[in-house]
A and B are shown apart, each in its own frame.
Chain A
Amino acid sequence: GAGVSQSPSNKVTEKGKDVELRCDPISGHTALYWYRQSLGQGLEFLIYFQGNSAPDKSGLPSDRFSAERTGGSVSTLTIQRTQQEDSAVYLCASSLLAGGSGNTIYFGEGSWLTVV
């Protein structure tokens, strides 16, 4: 696709339910990132996939959070037993190569999650 595509764009869920957020990166991009953006908190790194390497999960806030990337392309971020503090915008990004080396990271529009 032309850009990073995320779905759903908006999700309202009840506390305790599980949610899945999907990210379709730019075709050919080997690196994929999930960030979380809460009001006044900036972008918080969650997890990073680079090619076939083991993902960097160091930013996941708890074991309720997990992510997969199938076939080196589409990624799903799963939040189990959602809590109100999980309410945030979940941003996916991709880059041709590893982002920290200066390659441009392209962000999707985000999935806006509200836990009620």
Chain B
Amino acid sequence: QKEVEQDPGPLSVPEGAIVSLNCTYSNSAFQYFMWYRQYSRKGPELLMYTYSSGNKEDGRFTAQVDKSSKYISLFIRDSQPSDSATYLCAMGSGNTPLVFGKGTRLSVIA
């Protein structure tokens, strides 16, 4: 079993829809959970960061971490065509390098 599992999609939704992106993981030592957004032919950029369990909201984006289920989510409300990108979950602990999911390709259709 891979340390981090993420459905690669692609996921296609109409503009204005609520998008739910998810990752599961197996390493209970992970403490830091992040979501990166990657536009085509660009490097990933940090979108959301959560420490341990709980929710974090930033504008249209909400990140959720459920450590008991080893499950993290990213919700995008009122999705826009500009949200079309690949979304990668990432997680880590201590000083070790982050482990990334494969990324989910999202298309928001106008």
Contacts and interface: CB of A to CB of B under 8 A. Distances in A.
Given A40-B102, A105-B46, A107-B44, A48 B88 contact: no
A29 to B, nearest CB: 14
A100 B95 contact: yes
Interface string B1-33: 000001010000000000000000000000110
B92 A108 contact: no
Contacts of A109: 41-43
A114 to B, nearest CB: 14
B105 to A, nearest CB: 10
Contact of B97 (A4, A33, A112): A33
A104 B98 CA distance: 11
A40 B103 CA distance: 8
Contacts of A93: 43
A20 B102 CA distance: 26
Interface string B92-110: 1111111111110000000
Given A4-B43, A104-B46, A41 B102 contact: yes
Contact of A102 (B8, B32, B44): B32
A43 B97 contact: no
Nearest to A98: B95
A102 B32 CA distance: 6
- 4 shortest A-B CB distances, which residue pairs? A107-B43, A42-B102, A100-B92, A98-B95
